[in-house]
Amino acid sequence: MSTPANFSGARPIIHPDDAVMLLIDHQSGLFQTVADMPMTTLRAHATALAQMATLAKLPVITTASVPQGPNGPLIPEIHQAAPHAQYVARRGEINAWDNPDFVAAVKATGRKQLIVAGTITSVCMAFPSIAAVADGYQVFAVIDASGTYSKMAQEITLARIVQAGVVPVDTAAVASELQKTWHRDDAQQWAEVYTRIFPPYQLLIESYLKAQDVEKNHEALDSERG
Amino acid sequence: MSTPANFSGARPIIHPDDAVMLLIDHQSGLFQTVADMPMTTLRAHATALAQMATLAKLPVITTASVPQGPNGPLIPEIHQAAPHAQYVARRGEINAWDNPDFVAAVKATGRKQLIVAGTITSVCMAFPSIAAVADGYQVFAVIDASGTYSKMAQEITLARIVQAGVVPVDTAAVASELQKTWHRDDAQQWAEVYTRIFPPYQLLIESYLKAQDVEKNHEALDSERG
Amino acid sequence: MSTPANFSGARPIIHPDDAVMLLIDHQSGLFQTVADMPMTTLRAHATALAQMATLAKLPVITTASVPQGPNGPLIPEIHQAAPHAQYVARRGEINAWDNPDFVAAVKATGRKQLIVAGTITSVCMAFPSIAAVADGYQVFAVIDASGTYSKMAQEITLARIVQAGVVPVDTAAVASELQKTWHRDDAQQWAEVYTRIFPPYQLLIESYLKAQDVEKNHEALDSERG
Amino acid sequence: MSTPANFSGARPIIHPDDAVMLLIDHQSGLFQTVADMPMTTLRAHATALAQMATLAKLPVITTASVPQGPNGPLIPEIHQAAPHAQYVARRGEINAWDNPDFVAAVKATGRKQLIVAGTITSVCMAFPSIAAVADGYQVFAVIDASGTYSKMAQEITLARIVQAGVVPVDTAAVASELQKTWHRDDAQQWAEVYTRIFPPYQLLIESYLKAQDVEKNHEALDSERG
Amino acid sequence: MSTPANFSGARPIIHPDDAVMLLIDHQSGLFQTVADMPMTTLRAHATALAQMATLAKLPVITTASVPQGPNGPLIPEIHQAAPHAQYVARRGEINAWDNPDFVAAVKATGRKQLIVAGTITSVCMAFPSIAAVADGYQVFAVIDASGTYSKMAQEITLARIVQAGVVPVDTAAVASELQKTWHRDDAQQWAEVYTRIFPPYQLLIESYLKAQDVEKNHEALDSERG
Amino acid sequence: MSTPANFSGARPIIHPDDAVMLLIDHQSGLFQTVADMPMTTLRAHATALAQMATLAKLPVITTASVPQGPNGPLIPEIHQAAPHAQYVARRGEINAWDNPDFVAAVKATGRKQLIVAGTITSVCMAFPSIAAVADGYQVFAVIDASGTYSKMAQEITLARIVQAGVVPVDTAAVASELQKTWHRDDAQQWAEVYTRIFPPYQLLIESYLKAQDVEKNHEALDSERG
Amino acid sequence: MSTPANFSGARPIIHPDDAVMLLIDHQSGLFQTVADMPMTTLRAHATALAQMATLAKLPVITTASVPQGPNGPLIPEIHQAAPHAQYVARRGEINAWDNPDFVAAVKATGRKQLIVAGTITSVCMAFPSIAAVADGYQVFAVIDASGTYSKMAQEITLARIVQAGVVPVDTAAVASELQKTWHRDDAQQWAEVYTRIFPPYQLLIESYLKAQDVEKNHEALDSERG
Amino acid sequence: MSTPANFSGARPIIHPDDAVMLLIDHQSGLFQTVADMPMTTLRAHATALAQMATLAKLPVITTASVPQGPNGPLIPEIHQAAPHAQYVARRGEINAWDNPDFVAAVKATGRKQLIVAGTITSVCMAFPSIAAVADGYQVFAVIDASGTYSKMAQEITLARIVQAGVVPVDTAAVASELQKTWHRDDAQQWAEVYTRIFPPYQLLIESYLKAQDVEKNHEALDSERG
């Protein structure tokens, strides 16, 4: 396809009230194999997705690939940040979409847009995404909240899913499409989400507050003290 | 789409008399989060866009995302280099295209081609670009006069906007499509624009002028002096 | 095309019972020219493909480009890992698809899906892939089990084959599409395949087994011994 | 388009008897601005294109952008390697396709396939390529025999020309599509071309010849001498 | 000197009961200028130093360079992790050692070994280190818990301080020289310190605990469930 | 030596009233050969040295290597930023210290400390530095205000000059050793110097001033406007 | 010291008959934290050390840091390649030299030169090396058969151990200092060792043997077959 | 030592009339293992050394390690550029200094300074350098005209040889210490040497000559032609 699949020409963007978030196989063992970005970045981005789903009231479905084996357990932050997330156990299927319970859970949300992240990217993220496109869903793949074993593997997968009609997005774009405006009561909480996606934002906030405090409190510069 | 949208098969190039330049959220705070290129490069490229818009007499529209907060003020070079630019304040909308004043300002130019740059790339640049395509505009996204938090995020965004029918361009291509020929009176000023885009060009000019001067003035090589 | 060619809209995935693996020109001399990934990675990935073809009972066809000259011999691991592989000698043709014996060998398998890897990527892998698409095959190009002389050359080739309708895949995706589930008797052997694709997986297995042994045998921590 | 333009579904490959090579603005000054690959690599690849055009008897057209100014002269290797090349002077037009003499020279060859390389990539290579597609030519852009000011600029341009229907190729692929087979009298000369594209090939040849000489002359290993 | 200064030939290692930790100018604004490592890494390492000082009962002295100006406030984690740390305000002196209060605070600890980290490395860390060596202290500079504006600047500074007799150390070495053995009651807390220095250690712990739990609870693999 | 030469054990730091700055061969042509850092960084650092010499009232001596030939003219910023600098023409000597006029100019300053930067690093900077050490000077080599043809060449030179007793420094360290304190009337001008050394500092200042203005003027956030 | 310690001016090289090899904490868990080189490289180098110790008949002592915990088990290759190696269990001491059994085992060999590798570099390798220097040993630290959490951490450690009088070596240098000459019966086995240190050597051998075979057997080039 | 050995405090520089150049094991096979710089760079630098030795009339001694085996033949450029070079065959000794003929050849020159380059760096270059220091020679090691299997291996070797008293130099420094001045009849030939060390110098010369020609011949800019 290589055009965004299943949009029928409509603007290919996320609609918060029609989207469900799928967080697949973000496991401590698999994270050791990730080499397309620092593992800490992946961990922060996956957690940011869970946080924003909570803020935007998106359903979240998680699953893991044989967490009793070397792949290891799900990282705890995801369910901590999205306590409403539903965990679906599989029976060994590599493609989560091959597990009937998983597909049923998605279907039960009644939503038509899937926001998908998974480790490893070309498998745990790409397989369900490609399958869901074939089943008529609008699919957004969060490439940088997924992780894989090489930068090249990530690039190959990006090309493959675009060719298949999946919309590629980065973590920040998902946040902003869900948030839409800073004119909202939970703006502070969204700002905190961005500090996970691009950590210098935290420094900006700290420096900003201090600069205002200095002005507010008429604090003297140390270098101008007597 | 993945073909250049809204060209109806016409050659997908910029027409200086039908284009307007949109410079979105190039703010001092947001620039601290940029990691897909050196921030100084981004700053120079954004300024180069403003310069070339002035030389080519393109309308320019600027806007900022909550410049009173941690995102910080617009970098001053843009309005310095394009004094005719029109600034449109938003009310918290992340997507500038969600702000009616912004869209109205674009519409008021009567032009059908948008040259868009914004920080951060996947949001401030990509959202209005994708929206404008849906509204029938021909959109050129200047990827390397936009900035974002990782090289991967830039690559994901490139893939997404191409999929959506936006034409990706680099800063030099915009300059050359606007300039068209060196056979013009302001050729020197265009040369200066390129020194911002690829700084070795400045060295070339300096060395060239010196080499000609040496010849012109019959200056001896230091190594051949008595 | 830029859509997956010859799928007629069907889900663009590998079917183990309709696929044949083509391993082209993985030669000791040519491997010295590879610079888009560590040569050891390429060697491991090519071997992994042969292993998984054996596990999944895929026919394998190999060939070499003038192995009597500087290009050097085929690396031995491929036929060691896939003893059932059929070697087809060429007569100097650079594009294996220009050699009638090679095409005949493919045709004789009766299969419609080709999984192709070759060194160098833009030539030995890409030429037969593009040709086979034109002849009606569904083609999967394993970019990271192919090798070439620069990262840029790899990226150019990725773009070219996607444009031509070939499906790009990484080595792990091929493995997982062939394996499908961990609920199978040869699961251990598949795990070993993954240790070749992302070597930290071997560490995971080693640490996992030790951790369980410690628990099983009530082994004390060295740091808690008397 | 994003499919190879003007092929009407035919296999998108180069036909040596229907192709002309366009080498645009490979100038000493502009080469100082190149940063997407080592300049020496670019210089070698551009020269390799000229060599292979000579071997394959392709017409070659060269041109330069104001070579009397800071852009500098054409590098001499190109006309040395392709003495039959035709140089077309422009009058300041940045896009060579805007120069009527240049287009006329192309048309005079009677050929329908263009192999294009130029510095800088997004301008001197991309503009004529996009224009020629619109005029019905089949265009192959040799990305790594073109040079530009950043890796990102190269990637943006790759995306843009693919979107426009140009076929991206690397230098090695051009060589091999022109050569087709090692079963030809000038095989040695083609081997020399590859040493320019991936220099380890020269080492392979040197080591290969020595190894055979040792065997032929029953030369003893130094370490086994008395 | 280029030998460890002031050791008089004794083994140049840290003695926990004779060392004091100096954390200098780890400020939100200055952190935006850091480019020799990811800022998040620097932030984690600086925090790890504070944590280990607390565990090892080392005195900690902090200071900041004009925190009322663009340099910004101290990052809060340091005093959070080392609540016993003493903050010394300066009066504009760039070299903390030029501030009499700072030197007095160091002297008051009665300790002869300084563990120093500071941002930026060549100034805030190096100046006091070089000065303290001249005053007879044994100085350990924690290069990777300091940050500076380029990798090259870090390397230059490493060479300079070694030349001056300062002992260079990384954050992990400081932790391990303070901890000495895993045979201690607070071993868990030290393990947590290492997760800040090399984050994969956290994954190791998570996977380890899960693997033991599986064994302990006779949990079946998902892939082996009925 | 590998200890700082000619300090006789004194603290190896810069004394502004005993230092002279030598800026050697910063020429437009030679700058095209620089590859150990972005050329724009080198240009900014060299200019920053000239600026700080002016602020700290240091004598400055410049020279060039055959500026009438391919090496090109001195970059103009240096004499612009240090109008009091004295230019010494050589007669072809590669090592400036081999030119009697140059050595005489240094001697005439009556100062014992040399701060040296030059392009290319291993030659124009290192040769005079090593020679001056032998003549009894205390020499500080500003490695990152010098430029050379590879990172490796820079590293080799760093090792060589340290071995010879030269003190290696980065540009920021020179600035701070000259400035000493923020408690001075020209603090603003020093801040500007740092924006050349680490450009994010400019963003910090811009954001800081804006944050204070917002507070001062009770400016509302755009996102909170009606 | 910064001169090779304990050599008393003698040539600082390895004497195979006076050296013992210490391989410390090469454990599956710790290997997951290694980031200064590919983990596979570290694993191959550590194994190569064990192999060469066996060939050169060097005593080998191994140890592990709490292998019952998250650090994981020793990688099995070491004892496989050096079956004569002696394993010394510790009791939680981080510095192996703090464990009396370990020091006793070293002393029992009666040798004065230590070849040390360990993971992580700054701790497990550096601590015993620095301690052994103080106890009068000549110590060679194999930096690239040790692994640590960042390239910077490796560089810091290199500087620290050199300052302390340890001789830094790479894995190849150890092999060649032990082997001394190719004129020996086990030359083939040493060649195999080098294939682990720089894997292209394996390709060289494969290509060499094939080239000689072709000559020996008068094998025709495929491209010259009828 | 870590001070330049055997200089007795004299300025540690090269004296052209007392130096001999040793080029060791620059062989086609070994070059395939080089990874600390592009192999083409190494090849150019080694050739540049031979060229400058010829220009400066330095004796040159070459040798190879078992060139009848996989290590391959010496690259031909060295003896082509230095036809006066003397080749010394070894008998399997890895350290050339272990070969009596080699040492005798060095001694026969009567010179006290050795300029050494060799592949691989830590062995073929470092071993003879360290040995020659012990025998009283002043040794200059040309690190970037030597090649090895990783950047880290190069860095380790740099540290080792500096510790042993060898003076590290880059290729450009050797050229300039031999050339001394541009005021000599063979200046053009030295300029050509530099084009091999930093290839942009060739572009500078080409652009310089063209710029002067344009001025000399009153050539019009193409963009200003009628």
Inform me whether the pLDDT recorded for E2 exceeds 80: no
State the pLDDT at residue F226: 63
Closest CA relative to residue F123, chosen from F46, F44, F33, F61 = F33
Whether the Cβ atoms of residue B145 and residue B42 lie closer than 8 Å to each other:
yes
Cβ–Cβ gap C176/A72 under 8 Å: no
Distance of alpha carbon C145 from alpha carbon B205, whole angstroms:
46
CB-based contacts of A151: which residues, under 8 Å, 6+ apart? A35, A36, B152
Distance of alpha carbon D3 from alpha carbon C136, whole angstroms:
17
Whether the Cβ atoms of residue G58 and residue G20 lie closer than 8 Å to each other:
yes
Mark whether F50 and F157 lie in a shared domain. Answer: yes
Cβ–Cβ gap A208/F207 under 8 Å: yes
Q: Mind listing the pLDDT tens digit for each residue in B171-213?
A: 999 999 999 999 999 999 999 999 999 999 999 999 999 999 9
Inform me whether the pLDDT recorded for D2 exceeds 80: no
Q: Tell me whether C185 touches chain E (CB under 8 Å).
A: no
| H or E segment to which residue A142 belongs | strand A138-142
Residues of F serving a catalytic function are 124
State the pLDDT at residue A226: 64
Interface test with A, best of F182, F208, F209, F210 (most A CBs within 10 A): F208
Mark whether E66 and E85 lie in a shared domain. Answer: yes
- G226 pLDDT band, cuts 50/70/90, is low
- Stretch F90-107: mean pLDDT: 98
State the pLDDT at residue E193: 98
* The token pair that represents H69 in the structure block: 């085996």
F34 in a structural domain:
yes
Instruction: Give the one of D31, D39, D222 whose C-beta lies nearest to H66's C-beta.
Output: D222
- A201 pLDDT band, cuts 50/70/90, is very high
Instruction: Give the one of G3, G180, G205 whose C-beta lies nearest to H94's C-beta.
Output: G180
CB-based contacts of A217: which residues, under 8 Å, 6+ apart? none
Mark whether B74 and B27 lie in a shared domain. Answer: yes
Q: Tell me whether C134 touches chain G (CB under 8 Å).
A: no
Distance of alpha carbon E69 from alpha carbon F207, whole angstroms:
11
Sequential pLDDT tens for chain H (226 residues): 568 999 998 999 999 999 999 999 999 999 999 999 999 999 999 999 999 999 999 999 999 999 999 999 999 999 999 999 999 999 999 999 999 999 999 999 999 999 999 999 999 999 999 999 999 999 999 999 999 999 999 999 999 999 999 999 999 999 999 999 999 999 999 999 999 999 999 999 999 999 999 999 999 999 998 6
* CATH for E155: 3.40.50.850
Q: Mind listing the pLDDT tens digit for each residue in G3-24?
A: 899 999 899 999 999 999 999 9
Q: Tell me whether C65 touches chain D (CB under 8 Å).
A: yes
State the pLDDT at residue C137: 98
pLDDT mean across residues, chain A: 97
A1 in a structural domain:
no
CB-based contacts of G172: which residues, under 8 Å, 6+ apart? G194, G197, G198, H120, H122, H123, H148, H149, H153
Cβ–Cβ gap H169/F153 under 8 Å: no
Q: Tell me whether C182 touches chain E (CB under 8 Å).
A: yes
Whether the Cβ atoms of residue D150 and residue D122 lie closer than 8 Å to each other:
no
Q: Which residues pair with G117 in a beta bridge?
A: G23
G34 Cα to chain H: minimum distance (Å): 14
Range of D66's domain? Answer: 16-181
Cα within 13 Å of Cα(G108), Cβ side:
11
State the pLDDT at residue F6: 96
Cβ–Cβ gap G180/H122 under 8 Å: no
Mark whether E166 and E202 lie in a shared domain. Answer: no
Q: Mind listing the pLDDT tens digit for each residue in G108-139?
A: 999 999 999 999 999 999 999 999 999 999 99
Report the SS3 class of residue A114.
strand
Q: Mind listing the pLDDT tens digit for each residue in E137-186?
A: 999 999 999 999 999 999 999 999 999 999 999 999 999 999 999 999 99
Closest CA relative to residue G45, chosen from G119, G130, G122 = G119
- D194 pLDDT band, cuts 50/70/90, is very high
B73 Cα to chain F: minimum distance (Å): 6
Q: How far is CA A154 from CA A127, A157, D159, in A?
A: 14, 5, 17
Mark whether F141 and F162 lie in a shared domain. Answer: yes
Q: Which H positions 31-50 lie with beta carbon below 8 A of chain G?
A: 32-33, 35
Structurally, chain H folds into a number of domains equal to 2
Q: Tell me whether B204 touches chain H (CB under 8 Å).
A: yes
State the pLDDT at residue C226: 63
Mark whether B164 and B194 lie in a shared domain. Answer: no
H68 Cα to chain D: minimum distance (Å): 5
Q: Report how far Cα H38 is from the mean position of its chain's Cα atoms.
A: 16
Q: Tell me whether D120 touches chain B (CB under 8 Å).
A: yes
Q: Tell me whether B204 touches chain D (CB under 8 Å).
A: yes
Q: Report how far Cα E17 is from the mean position of its chain's Cα atoms.
A: 17
Closest CA relative to residue B70, chosen from E40, F211, F206, E26 = F211
- Stretch A111-120: mean pLDDT: 98
D4 in a structural domain:
no
Cβ–Cβ gap A211/F216 under 8 Å: no
Mark whether D147 and D214 lie in a shared domain. Answer: no
DSSP C189-222: HHHHHHHHHSTHHHHHHHHHHHHHHHHHTTPPPG
State the pLDDT at residue D226: 63
Q: Mind listing the pLDDT tens digit for each residue in C15-30?
A: 999 999 999 999 999 9
Cβ–Cβ gap D68/H220 under 8 Å: yes
Q: Tell me whether B155 touches chain A (CB under 8 Å).
A: yes
F35 in a structural domain:
yes
F205 in a structural domain:
yes
Mark whether C80 and C175 lie in a shared domain. Answer: yes
Write down the pTM of the prediction.
0.97
Contacts of H93 in chain G (CB under 8 A): 180-183
Whether the Cβ atoms of residue B137 and residue B113 lie closer than 8 Å to each other:
yes
Give residue for tokens 């803020």.
A55
- Stretch C76-90: mean pLDDT: 98
E209 in a structural domain:
yes
Residue type, H59: P
Q: Which of C124, C174, C175, C178 is catalytic?
A: C124
Inform me whether the pLDDT recorded for C1 exceeds 60: no
Instruction: Give the one of D183, D212, D223 whose C-beta lies nearest to G223's C-beta.
Output: D183
Contacts of D181 in chain G (CB under 8 A): 223
Inform me whether the pLDDT recorded for D110 exceeds 90: yes
Nearest residue of G to residue H99, measured between CA atoms = G181
Q: Provide the residue count of chain H.
A: 226
- Stretch E34-60: mean pLDDT: 98
State the pLDDT at residue A225: 84
Q: Mind listing the pLDDT tens digit for each residue in A182-199?
A: 999 999 999 999 999 999
Inform me whether the pLDDT recorded for E84 exceeds 80: yes
Inform me whether the pLDDT recorded for B2 exceeds 90: no
Cβ–Cβ gap B162/D163 under 8 Å: yes
Q: Which of D42, D56, D114, D124 is catalytic?
A: D124
Distance of alpha carbon G196 from alpha carbon G200, whole angstroms:
9
E125 in a structural domain:
yes
Mark whether D94 and D39 lie in a shared domain. Answer: yes
State the pLDDT at residue B9: 87
Whether the Cβ atoms of residue D40 and residue H39 lie closer than 8 Å to each other:
no
Q: Provide the residue count of chain D.
A: 226
Q: Do chains A and B touch (3 or more CB pairs under 8 A)?
A: yes
Mark whether F170 and F206 lie in a shared domain. Answer: no
Q: Which residues pair with F169 in a beta bridge?
A: F142
Distance of alpha carbon H101 from alpha carbon H38, whole angstroms:
32
Q: Mind listing the pLDDT tens digit for each residue in D30-79?
A: 999 999 999 999 999 999 999 999 999 999 999 999 999 999 999 999 99
Inform me whether the pLDDT recorded for D1 exceeds 70: no
State the pLDDT at residue F179: 98
Inform me whether the pLDDT recorded for F223 exceeds 90: yes
State the pLDDT at residue E209: 95
Q: Mind listing the pLDDT tens digit for each residue in B94-120?
A: 999 999 999 999 999 999 999 999 999
Cβ–Cβ gap G148/E158 under 8 Å: no
Chain C adjacent subunits, 3+ CB pairs under 8 A: A, D, E, G
G168 Cα to chain H: minimum distance (Å): 6
Q: Tell me whether G99 touches chain E (CB under 8 Å).
A: no
Q: What would the 3-class secondary structure string for A13-57 be?
A: CCCHHHEEEEEECCEHHHHCCCCCCCHHHHHHHHHHHHHHHHHCC
Inform me whether the pLDDT recorded for F1 exceeds 60: no
A142 in a structural domain:
yes
Q: Mind listing the pLDDT tens digit for each residue in F129-188?
A: 999 999 999 999 999 999 999 999 999 999 999 999 999 999 999 999 999 999 999 999
Whether the Cβ atoms of residue D4 and residue D167 lie closer than 8 Å to each other:
yes
Mark whether G203 and G114 lie in a shared domain. Answer: no
State the pLDDT at residue D85: 98
Q: Provide the residue count of chain B.
A: 226
Terminal-to-terminal C-alpha distance of chain B: 71
A70 Cα to chain E: minimum distance (Å): 8
Distance of alpha carbon B194 from alpha carbon B210, whole angstroms:
19
Distance of alpha carbon F25 from alpha carbon F171, whole angstroms:
17
Mark whether B104 and B161 lie in a shared domain. Answer: yes
Cβ–Cβ gap G131/E11 under 8 Å: yes
Task: Report residue H89: phi and psi, to 5°.
Answer: -80, 140
State the pLDDT at residue B28: 97
Q: Do chains F and C touch (3 or more CB pairs under 8 A)?
A: no
Check whether the bond before H120 is cis (ω within 30° of 0).
yes
State the pLDDT at residue D9: 87
pLDDT mean across residues, chain B: 97
Cβ–Cβ gap E224/C181 under 8 Å: no
